């Protein structure tokens, strides 16, 4: 039994990290090596974005404020769902750094006392996780029920988006596994109380043993929820590079937005 | 009215656009086009065509960045569907970016491990036959290539480039829209879409020069096929359908003192190769490069035409630069001349009409040409308004991407309701769309839309208004 734990939580995490990194590099390499633009030299779709500065701003705006998402005709469910989910996840992921590094080092290096760490984990982490879960629920409901958006011109065009018609196993798998990871993660985070602060310290011992290449699974053996959360996360991380989850990286390569347009130079005519 | 018969034969049905398949080019026409780009069609039987389509699709998926990323990155959020005029106005899910994409993704998916393992559950198609290919043909030729999906998509996934790739493969198995194929064929043969002969070009210019003399009192000398500083490329439709636009070019260039020539070898600005096949796109663009080099010009001036501007800006311009030749749009020069005080304009000449500026889609999404026309319009009319959906959110006229063809008029009339209603909403009386395809499309559908809505909307290009306002 102990060997199984050691393989699952002591060795497989390394394989997962390797699959994740190699997979991402491989996928990005396939994007880089596909050079054609269907006969053109440039496929930019944005207005007056012909410098690297404006192109970078365009990409950052799309990543961080989702500015095209409400659309001209305001599909707020997609905007709100995506905004809440992504920002919640990002904050929660940053928070995970605090469970990789043991509490003693956190205090020594960053002056973060265990009690303060627990408070941050509970309130900031808990809020971020809840927000992300809410966002993902909005997106899931939207996908299952479809969505009607009103395009207002002079008349109103009610446009039904049949999301279920174009959603497949891979779309649902990503949603399901993310929902499960978040529910189990939140269960633990919101379980932090002044009387039960243990899990942060427990998990960091395990995580730090992995970081220092001396895997020790003992600390987590009596925490089944944590084990399920970690197992699902490993499945997700290994699945990530081979799926549409790669979409955040696409911003760096997408020829329509991440590449400056060809500049037109208007000469002094004669 | 002109298209009553088509409206009767091909009535529009909400939720199903499948009866609007473009007529296909015949074998003779296709083989002439193949010759022009030195392509040998190897797939002859249905089985060969199906297999060829599948293989080439996978090849293009591996080679084209925008196609590969479109297929791999789309998360099916549906954001493009409520942005796509073809879906908004028809309600047919396959007549939408995601719908079109899925027809193709299903084939690519079938070749992947997940497709082999899970089949239909991950959207992979089990078997493709000619009916499937015909469905692909139908919906891919109904795409406007207006790029609204590419702008609306949070990741910038542009279905219209997938459309162009799929059309190219269909062409390689002998399936192409007759209208576009005829247009490209005419361009290869005569240097313009309308088969204008050099004699016709010269006669029309003589006629236009006379009209300008009568209307404006100045005698223009227009160089044709002579060395000059600049080469002007009007749309071939400007030679007889949009003559006021043509007059606008000629009078402006005269007033601004620009030394230019027309070419009978390139009495055109268009490049319908953009809608058909990259090799036709590049081959026709190279004709422009050659003409510019032969005439020894330093500048090429593109006339009012949206798709042409996209093709020129993103292919011809870098090629011309290799020979030290610049390329601009006529609007760049007019805006520059106004700023420098080189020309005098009288907005009174365009009356008390409320104009609406509607961006041609290919100027606004990747063309970087939205502010110059507005700047010009502010100087040539007394009152103009913007539609609510403007610049990057502009609506396509409904005729882009080869959809000017007669057999789809009842369908594209639906596409056109969006921009038409923008004008009604702002009480505009006159729509300004400085694009040759827009103007042709408006000539098809405005009579029907005016009847449908009980209004009298008029339209023109922008250089038409410049012509009237120019004081010489």
Would residue A261 count as lying in a domain? no
Which positions in chain A touch B63 (Cβ < 8 Å)? 34-36
Would residue A84 count as lying in a domain? yes
Please name the residues in contact with A64: beta carbons below 8 A apart, sequence gap of 6 or more.
none
Q: Which two tokens stand for residue B250?
A: 């000629």
Probe site for chain B from A35, A40, A244 (most B CB atoms < 10 A): A40
**Per-residue pLDDT reduced to its tens digit, B404-449:** 999 999 999 999 999 999 999 999 999 999 999 999 999 999 999 9
Hey, what domains does chain B have and what are their CATH numbers? 9-176 (no CATH), 182-339 (1.20.1050), 344-471 (3.40.50)
Q: What is the pTM of this model?
A: 0.96
- pLDDT, average across residues A55-59: 95
CA angle A234, A239, A240 (to 5 degrees): 100
Which positions in chain A touch B370 (Cβ < 8 Å)? 47-48
Would residue A143 count as lying in a domain? yes
**Does residue A26 surpass a pLDDT of 70?**
yes
ipTM of the complex: 0.95
Would residue A270 count as lying in a domain? no
**Per-residue pLDDT reduced to its tens digit, A210-236:** 999 999 999 888 888 899 999 999 999
Using an 8 Å Cβ cutoff, are B265 and B196 in contact?
Answer: no
Q: What is the mean pLDDT of each run of 10 residues along chain B (472 residues)?
A: 90 97 98 98 98 97 94 93 96 97 96 93 94 98 97 94 98 98 98 97 98 97 98 96 97 98 97 98 98 98 98 98 98 98 98 98 96 98 98 97 97 97 98 98 96 97 98 96
**Does residue A197 surpass a pLDDT of 60?**
no
Q: Do A71 and B79 touch (CB under 8 A)?
A: yes
> For residue B10, is it left (φ>0), alpha (ψ between -120 and 50) or beta?
beta
Q: Do B75 and A30 touch (CB under 8 A)?
A: no
User: How many A×B Cβ pairs under 8 Å?
Assistant: 234
Number of independent structural domains in chain A: 1
**Does residue A102 surpass a pLDDT of 90?**
no
- What is the reported pLDDT for A222? 86
> b or e along B336-359 (b: 16 or more beta carbons within 10 Å of the residue's beta carbon)?
bbbeeebbebebebbeeeebbbbb
**Does residue A96 surpass a pLDDT of 80?**
yes
| Closest partner CB to A36 (pick from B63, B311, B366) | B63
Would residue A196 count as lying in a domain? yes
Neighbours of B131 (CB within 10 A): 8
Would residue A38 count as lying in a domain? no
Please name the residues in contact with B147: beta carbons below 8 A apart, sequence gap of 6 or more.
A45, B158, B160, B361, B362, B365, B366
Using an 8 Å Cβ cutoff, are B163 and B137 in contact?
Answer: no
Q: Do B114 and A170 touch (CB under 8 A)?
A: yes
Min distance A94 CA to chain B CA atoms (Å): 24
Between CA B310 and CA B158 the distance in angstroms is: 15
- What is the reported pLDDT for A71? 77
Q: Do B153 and A78 touch (CB under 8 A)?
A: no
**Does residue A195 surpass a pLDDT of 60?**
no
For residue B30, the number of C-alpha atoms closer than 13 Å in the C-beta half-sphere is 19
- What is the reported pLDDT for B279? 98
- What is the reported pLDDT for A72? 79
Q: Do B328 and A264 touch (CB under 8 A)?
A: yes
**H, E, C per residue of chain A:** CHHHHHHHHHHHHHHHHHHHHHHHHHHHHHHHHCCECCCCCCCCCCCCCCCHHHHHHHHHHHHHCCCCCCCCCCCHHHHHHHHHHHHHHHHHHHHHHHHHCCHHHHHHHHCCCHHHHHHHHHHHHHHHHHHHHHHHHHHHHHHHHCEEEEEECCCEEEEEECHHHHCCHHHHHHHHHHHHHHHHHHHHHCCCCCCCCHHHHHHHHHHHHHHCCCCCCHHHCCCHHHHHHHHHHHHHHHHHHHCHHHHHHHCCCCCCCCCCCCCCCCCCCC
Would residue A259 count as lying in a domain? no
Give residue B428's Cα distance to chain centre.
Answer: 24
For residue B208, the number of C-alpha atoms closer than 13 Å in the C-beta half-sphere is 24
Would residue A242 count as lying in a domain? yes
Q: Do B98 and A166 touch (CB under 8 A)?
A: yes
- pLDDT, average across residues A258-263: 96
- What is the reported pLDDT for A118? 85
Name the residue range of residue A88's domain. 2-28+67-250
Between CA A81 and CA A8 the distance in angstroms is: 34
What is the C-alpha end-to-end distance of chain A, expressed in Å? Answer: 86
| Closest partner CB to A261 (pick from B150, B152, B368) | B368
- What is the reported pLDDT for A115? 86
Q: Do B152 and A68 touch (CB under 8 A)?
A: yes
Q: Could you tell me the CATH number of the domain that includes residue A151?
A: 1.20.950.20
Q: Which of A85, A82, A155, A144 is nearest to B153 (CA)?
A: A82
């Amino acid at each position: 039994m102990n060997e199984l734990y050691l393989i699952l939580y002591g060795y497989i995490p390394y394989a997962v990290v390797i699959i994740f990194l190699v997979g991402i590099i491989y996928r990005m390499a396939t994007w880089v090596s596909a050079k054609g633009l269907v006969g053109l030299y440039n496929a930019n779709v944005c207005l007056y974005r012909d410098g690297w500065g404006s192109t970078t701003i365009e990409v950052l705006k799309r990543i961080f404020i989702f500015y095209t998402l409400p659309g001209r005709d305001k599909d707020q469910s997609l905007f709100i769902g995506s905004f809440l989910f992504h920002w919640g996840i990002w904050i929660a992921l940053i928070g995970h750094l605090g469970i990789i590094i043991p509490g003693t080092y956190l205090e020594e290096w960053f002056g973060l006392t265990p009690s303060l760490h627990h408070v941050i984990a509970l309130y900031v982490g808990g809020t971020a996780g809840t927000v992300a879960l809410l966002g993902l629920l909005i997106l899931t409901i939207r996908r299952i029920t479809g969505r009607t958006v009103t395009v207002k011109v002079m008349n109103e065009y009610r446009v039904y988006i049949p999301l279920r018609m174009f959603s497949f196993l891979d779309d649902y798998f990503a949603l399901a596994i993310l929902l499960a990871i978040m529910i189990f993660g939140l269960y633990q985070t919101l379980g932090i109380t002044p009387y039960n602060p243990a899990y942060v310290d427990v998990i960091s011992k395990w995580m730090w043993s992995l970081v220092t290449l001396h895997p020790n699974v003992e600390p987590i053996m009596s925490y089944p929820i944590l084990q399920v959360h970690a197992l699902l996360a490993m499945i997700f991380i290994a699945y990530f590079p081979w799926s549409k989850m790669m979409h955040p990286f696409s911003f760096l390569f997408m020829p329509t937005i991440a590449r400056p347009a060809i500049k037109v130079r208007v000469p002094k005519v004669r | 009215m002109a298209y009553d018969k088509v409206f009767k034969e091909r009535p529009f049905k909400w939720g199903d656009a499948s009866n609007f398949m473009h007529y296909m080019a015949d074998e003779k026409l296709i083989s002439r086009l193949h010759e022009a780009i030195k392509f040998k069609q190897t797939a002859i039987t249905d089985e060969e065509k199906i297999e060829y389509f599948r293989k080439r699709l996978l090849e293009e998926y591996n080679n084209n960045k925008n196609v590969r990323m479109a297929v791999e990155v789309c998360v099916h959020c549906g954001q493009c569907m409520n942005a796509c005029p073809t879906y908004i106005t028809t309600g047919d899910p396959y007549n939408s970016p995601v719908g079109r994409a899925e027809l193709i993704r299903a084939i690519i998916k079938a070749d992947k491990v997940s497709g082999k393992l899970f089949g239909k559950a991950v959207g992979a198609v089990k078997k493709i036959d000619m009916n499937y290919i015909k469905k692909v043909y139908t919906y891919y030729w109904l795409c406007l290539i207006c790029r609204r999906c590419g702008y609306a998509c949070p990741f910038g996934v542009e279905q219209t480039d997938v459309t162009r790739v799929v059309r190219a493969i269909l062409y390689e198995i002998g399936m192409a829209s007759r209208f576009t194929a005829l247009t490209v064929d005419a361009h290869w043969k005569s240097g313009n879409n309308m088969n204008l002969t050099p004699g016709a070009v010269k006669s029309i210019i003589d006629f236009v020069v006379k009209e300008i003399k009568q209307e404006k009192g100045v005698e223009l000398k227009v160089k044709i096929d002579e060395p000059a500083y600049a080469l002007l490329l009007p749309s071939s439709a400007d030679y007889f359908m949009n003559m006021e636009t043509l007059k606008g070019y000629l009078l402006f260039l005269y007033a601004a003192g620009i030394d230019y020539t027309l070419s009978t070898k390139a009495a055109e600005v268009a490049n319908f190769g953009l809608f058909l096949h990259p090799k036709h796109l590049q081959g026709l663009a190279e004709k422009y490069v050659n003409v510019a080099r032969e005439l020894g010009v330093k500048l090429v001036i593109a006339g009012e035409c949206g798709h042409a501007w996209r093709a020129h800006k993103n292919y011809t311009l870098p090629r011309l630069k290799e020979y030290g030749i610049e390329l601009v749009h006529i609007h760049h020069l007019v805006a520059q001349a106004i700023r420098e005080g080189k020309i005098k304009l009288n907005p009174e000449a365009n009356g008390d009409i409320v104009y609406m500026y509607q961006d041609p889609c290919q100027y606004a999404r990747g063309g970087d040409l939205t502010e110059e026309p507005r700047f010009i319009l502010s100087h040539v009319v007394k009152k103009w308004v913007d539609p609510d959906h403007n610049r990057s959110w502009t609506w396509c006229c409904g005729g882009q991407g080869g959809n000017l063809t007669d057999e789809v008029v009842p369908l594209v009339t639906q596409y056109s309701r969006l921009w038409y209603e923008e004008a009604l909403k702002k009480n505009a009386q006159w729509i300004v769309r400085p694009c040759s395809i827009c103007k042709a499309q408006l000539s098809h559908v405005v009579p029907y839309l005016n009847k449908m809505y009980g209004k009298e909307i008029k339209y023109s290009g922008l250089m038409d208004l410049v012509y009237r306002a120019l004081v010489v």
